[in-house]
A and B are shown apart, each in its own frame.
Chain A
Amino acid sequence: MSAPASTLTIPGAVRDALKVGLITLGLSIPILAVRTDQNLSNQIVLLPRWGLVASAVGIAIAVRLAYLLLAAVRQARGGALIGSLGVRLPAQAGTMFARAAVVFLFLYPVIALSLAGTGGAVKWIDNFGIQILIFIMLGWGLNIVVGLAGLLDLGYVAFYAVGAYTTALLGKTFGLSFWLCLPLAGILAAFWGIILGFPVLRLRGDYLAIVTLAFGEIIRLVLINWVPVTNGYAGITGIPRPSFFGVPFNASDQGFSAVFGLPFSPLYRTVFLFYLILLLALLTNWVTLRLRRLPVGRAWEALREDEIACRALGINTTSTKLTAFAIGAGFGGFAGSFFAARQGFISPESFTFMESAVILAIVVLGGMGSQVGVAIAAVLMIGGTEILRELDWMKEIFGSGFDPTQYRMLLFGLAMVLIMVWRPRGLVSTREPSIFLSERRAVSGAHVREGHG
């Protein structure tokens, strides 16, 4: 059973780590080495940041070295091939990686602050941290429907929209606080999940995909055209922002900065929002992992594998599908609620089919059903998009009219094609069993079905 482990020597590990350092150096010279800024007369000044490059390279070498050594220690137990890195990962690598990632995420604002300073950190925490975490959460929510239950849903953004508009409307009309809107948004989105679920119960495959796609568009069109309530294209502004247990983040005397005796800075709100979405995403993950080990989660996966066999075993497939739709939609609603409160402004523009497609791409790319895979895919896809915004230096090469973000979809498509050729079942293609008798062995993706729709 256990695969032949590649023997790993210390010099080999050091060589490998240095190679990684070299790659990091190569990558960080264009990305990190020079910072563009404006002086008072609006001229661009280039600030070299070689210290930053050095620390990035140092971190990369250290992490790689620590990783390889840890892997070597665990190698004796035999391992599953994750292979994406061309390295044989130990069986517990998934869990270890997930733990390390969570620790990193909790430290992320601190790291960003120390590396980028107070001014630059907002961008890193907001554009990268919060944005990616929102999509990780959406990916995990959709993963329940698509990855576990095998129901292809192309209109997931509808529930994101329901959550966002619920929070916006309840907050503005009734003055409800974010903390009250959040659960209400989740519940309402789950309710809409059931509403969508009923008509599509009998549909499979392409038909299910088309109806869910239409559902997403209907919701968006309603948001555009129901002007008295939603204010149409103009959207809703002035959505109440979340408070820190009743203490608002503003410059007033009752504001967070004043209460805690700190100088006012928008940073506090950003950091707070970061931890909020981090906790929401972790909650999603916790609930999903728990549900997978419960009868309802096993029934979802069984439904994906063979619906007729499920019925022959006395499983009510109607309620099983509806719970998958409802719970998946509920998490979309939570994410939408957070999104509305973070932006303070929402409009139908944020809830286009493109969004559904990106979320679905994250799930498919990650490996359907895999929580870790979905998280990695979200980091790659959303992080990649954000990095494109950072590539202003390319203007120097391609002329000032060049906007890298315009090539986002092209790059997305290219990346998707490459990854699907290279790993047709997504980044993490194995399935973790929900229970085991003597030994937890990952199920090869070759056996796992993708659902009929």
Chain B
Amino acid sequence: MAPRDVVLEVEHLSMRFGGLVAVNDLSFSAARGDITALIGPNGAGKTTVFNCITGFYKPTSGRITMSLGGPAEPNDVAALTASGNRAMRTARGQLFLLERMPDYEITARAKVARTFQNIRLFPGMTVLENLIVAQHNALMIASGYTVKGLFGFGSYQRAEADAVALARSWLDRLGLTARADDAAGALAYGDQRRLEIARAMCTGPELLCLDEPAAGLNPRESSELKDFIRSIARDHGTSVLLIEHDMSVVMEISDKVVVLEYGIKIADGSPEAVRNDPKVIAAYLGVEDDAVAEAEAEIAQ
């Protein structure tokens, strides 16, 4: 079996809020091009893991390695860790230690994009503008950090036309082209969720982190979303990290499932294996109280 090409490696990640340990010594990895699901009961610490990966929280301890271009060599990771730097070029591509980087750089340089559990669009900007803002960094360079753009250089005009074309291609895929000039806040809830994913994709990510994208969707929307996420992974080769409560979505499209409970990883494997894992059944899929107590006793040991 060929060695797994890991895009994101989380090692011994812990996050404490005062006395509360939201994530406790969590390790898992996400393979390139895969859809990796992160599931667990409410308050298990899933969103906290996302916030650590995307730099919104500084983890209490642990290492988060993002590797672009190919799998990371252990030697390179060790060298980068020892150097105290945030990033380094390797023979295959680039290596980033996300816990050392500020949030915006994680998107801009390490190519990790995310969506939010409670949608965060720019409601007063149009659908198209939302997708153009997502291409800010590329356009900023094209506009010569505003100087060239201010004087109307042709190169910026072309870059903007390209940005519109990219936005348009996503709108076409979502069937939202007719709404392009409407305020994002005026879209239906399901459309807002999908627009937020498209906006994240417009940043050109290698890893897309989706926080409960199916929340609040009806069954038809939810099944469309499944196809959409799958096509992002298959057609774009973008790796996906997915938090989701909707088990039909998780079990159908995930290549691997990581299960969290009270910040601790209780299972990690294929959807089949996880579904049949007694600990997961006890903790997550809902069983009688005594089974939960049993599982808790197990964890305590």
Chain A contacts to B: CB under 8 angstroms: 287, 290-291, 294-296, 298-299, 301-302, 304-306, 308-317, 323, 431, 433-441, 443-444, 446-449
**Residue-by-residue, is B81-125 near A (CB-CB < 8 Å gives 1, otherwise 0)?**
000000000000000000000011111100001101000111111
* A440 to B126 Cα, complex, angstroms: 10
| Contact of A443 with B108 in the complex, beta carbons under 8 Å | no
| Contact of B149 with A302 in the complex, beta carbons under 8 Å | no
- Chain B residues within an 8 Å CB radius of A446: 185
CB within 8 A of B129: which of A304, A323, A433? A433
* Stretch from B136-144, B239-247, B280-288 at the A interface: B136-144
| Contact of A444 with B183 in the complex, beta carbons under 8 Å | yes
Of chain B, the residue at the smallest CB distance from A298 is: B133
| Contact of B186 with A313 in the complex, beta carbons under 8 Å | no
| Contact of A306 with B185 in the complex, beta carbons under 8 Å | no
Is B267 located at the chain interface by the 8 A CB criterion? no
| Contact of A314 with B120 in the complex, beta carbons under 8 Å | no
Of chain B, the residue at the smallest CB distance from A437 is: B180
Majority DSSP secondary structure for residues of B touching A: helix
Is B56 located at the chain interface by the 8 A CB criterion? yes
Q: Which of B180-209 contact A (CB under 8 A)?
A: 180-186, 199-200, 203
* A316 to B104 Cα, complex, angstroms: 6
Q: How far is the CB of B80 from chain A (nearest CB, A)?
A: 21
| Contact of B125 with A302 in the complex, beta carbons under 8 Å | yes
* A441 to B127 Cα, complex, angstroms: 12
- Chain B residues within an 8 Å CB radius of A298: 125, 129, 132-133, 136
Chain B's interface size range is 35 or more
Is B134 located at the chain interface by the 8 A CB criterion? yes
What 7 additional pairs, Cβ within 8 angstroms, besides A295-B146, A306-B121, A310-B133?
A305-B122, A305-B124, A312-B107, A313-B134, A315-B104, A433-B128, A448-B183
- Chain B residues within an 8 Å CB radius of A299: 133, 136
With A291-B150, A294-B143 as known contacts, state yes or no: A305 contacts B125, CB within 8 Å: yes
| Contact of A443 with B183 in the complex, beta carbons under 8 Å | yes
| Contact of A314 with B136 in the complex, beta carbons under 8 Å | yes
With A433-B181, A436-B126, A437-B128 as known contacts, state yes or no: A308 contacts B133, CB within 8 Å: no
* A411 to B66 Cα, complex, angstroms: 61
Q: How far is the CB of A78 from chain B (nearest CB, A)?
A: 14
| Contact of B129 with A435 in the complex, beta carbons under 8 Å | yes
Count of chain A to chain B residue pairs whose CB atoms are closer than 8 Å in the complex? 141
**Residue-by-residue, is B229-263 near A (CB-CB < 8 Å gives 1, otherwise 0)?**
00000000000000000000000000000000000
Is B164 located at the chain interface by the 8 A CB criterion? yes
* A147 to B106 Cα, complex, angstroms: 29
- Chain B residues within an 8 Å CB radius of A309: 116, 120-122
| Contact of A296 with B146 in the complex, beta carbons under 8 Å | yes
- Chain B residues within an 8 Å CB radius of A315: 104, 133, 136-137
| Contact of A287 with B150 in the complex, beta carbons under 8 Å | yes
Is B27 located at the chain interface by the 8 A CB criterion? no
- Chain B residues within an 8 Å CB radius of A310: 104, 133
| Contact of B146 with A294 in the complex, beta carbons under 8 Å | yes
* A309 to B105 Cα, complex, angstroms: 13
With A312-B54, A441-B181, A443-B125 as known contacts, state yes or no: A435 contacts B116, CB within 8 Å: no
* A305 to B122 Cα, complex, angstroms: 5
| Contact of A438 with B122 in the complex, beta carbons under 8 Å | no
- Chain A residues within an 8 Å CB radius of B182: 441
Is B177 located at the chain interface by the 8 A CB criterion? yes
Is B58 located at the chain interface by the 8 A CB criterion? no
Q: How far is the CB of A23 from chain B (nearest CB, A)?
A: 36
- Chain A residues within an 8 Å CB radius of B156: 294
| Contact of B132 with A435 in the complex, beta carbons under 8 Å | yes
Q: How far is the CB of A426 from chain B (nearest CB, A)?
A: 14
With A295-B143, A295-B149, A437-B164 as known contacts, state yes or no: A314 contacts B124, CB within 8 Å: no
Most chain A CB atoms below 10 A, which of B125, B160, B168: B125
* A434 to B129 Cα, complex, angstroms: 7
* A317 to B146 Cα, complex, angstroms: 16
